[in-house]
Amino acid sequence: MKLETFLLLLLGNQMFFPTLKLLQNSDRSEGNAPVMRASFYEENMWPVVSAHQDWLLKKSNRPIPDAVNEVRDQFIRVLAIESWREQLTVRRCVSCWNRSTRQVDFMWKIYGDRGVAVFSTVGRVRRALAEAGAEGIVSPVLYIPIEDTIPKPDFDLLCANCSRPDLFKNWSYLPEQEVRFVIKVDPVQTIEKKGVLLEIMSKIIIDKVYLSPEIPSTEKLNLETFIYEKRFSRSFFQAGQEPRPRPLLAEADLPSGIFPDFD
């Protein structure tokens, strides 16, 4: 993670969790890997979506053209499924981790050129999220080849979990070996910052920390001393300017069963 993200965790016991929609800004295929294997996707998704068709069509805010019945019905079907995916992206926030137990060079270059690598465990992160009041799931990401044949076990897993598109990514991201913590949020809370700021106790979540090899040695020494001793308190932030985490709220009017990915 970037150094400023780490300092927020270390000094303020807070972490930002981006929405799935925000992640799509840097990866257009994010949450869409199952859609790219369209031969099975619609068939598996329609039983999930059909009961909530009216709600989803209203949320899509797109006109439904007059047409021959079969054409119109197919358009409604596709539009409802598309609206379901769109509504899911603003109701799920994601924390992305790497499964490696060692430092990985290309991960530094992509995500923390002058930052830090925080090592933790699934148990530590789950405990921290539970104490923050979060509800969700944790899973390794399954990487889907878009143009080639999918091995049958992966294909069966994809079909069985088509309502969890946030747990699948394009095969080209395979080297990341990602593990995801996906939590449920009310879109009212994420509309402004495209995510949520949670109170996460750094002592719980941090097992060990490595600094980027790109950080100069003198700066690294000072940072290591600072991290070890934690000299600064929450007064590091100016009075009245501390980031304020907000408790996660339940979405009051969400139709029951419309997003079954946590079942």
3-state secondary structure the chain: CCHHHHHHHHHHCEEEEEEHHHHCCCCCCCCCCCCCCHHHHHHHHHHHHHHHHHHHHHHHCCCCCCCCHHHHHHHHHHHHHHHHHHHHHCCEEEEEEECCCCCCHHHHHHHCCCCEEEECCHHHHHHHHHHCCCCEEEEECEEECCCCCCCHHHHHHHHHCCCCHHHEEEHHHHHHCEEEEEEECCHHHHCCCCEEEEECCHHHHCCEEEECCCCCHHHHHHHHHHHHHCCCCHHHCCCCCCCCCCCCCCCCCCCCCCCHHHC
Q: Where are the domains of the chain?
A: 3-27+92-239
- Rounded mean pLDDT, 61-87: 85
Q: Of residues 181 and 11, which shows the higher confidence score?
A: 181
pLDDT at 38: 66
Instruction: Using pLDDT thresholds of 50, 70 and 90, give the confidence band for residue 235.
Output: very low
- Rounded mean pLDDT, 45-51: 92
Which residue has tokens 């920390």?
209
Residue 111 in this model has a pLDDT that exceeds 90: no
pLDDT at 62: 84
Lowest-confidence range among 43-47, 64-68, 96-100, 185-189? Answer: 64-68
Q: Of residues 92 and 238, which shows the higher confidence score?
A: 92
Residue 82 in this model has a pLDDT that exceeds 80: yes
Q: Residue 247 has which token pair?
A: 């408790």
Give percent of the chain with pLDDT exceeding 90.
Answer: 45
pLDDT at 74: 85
pLDDT at 193: 85
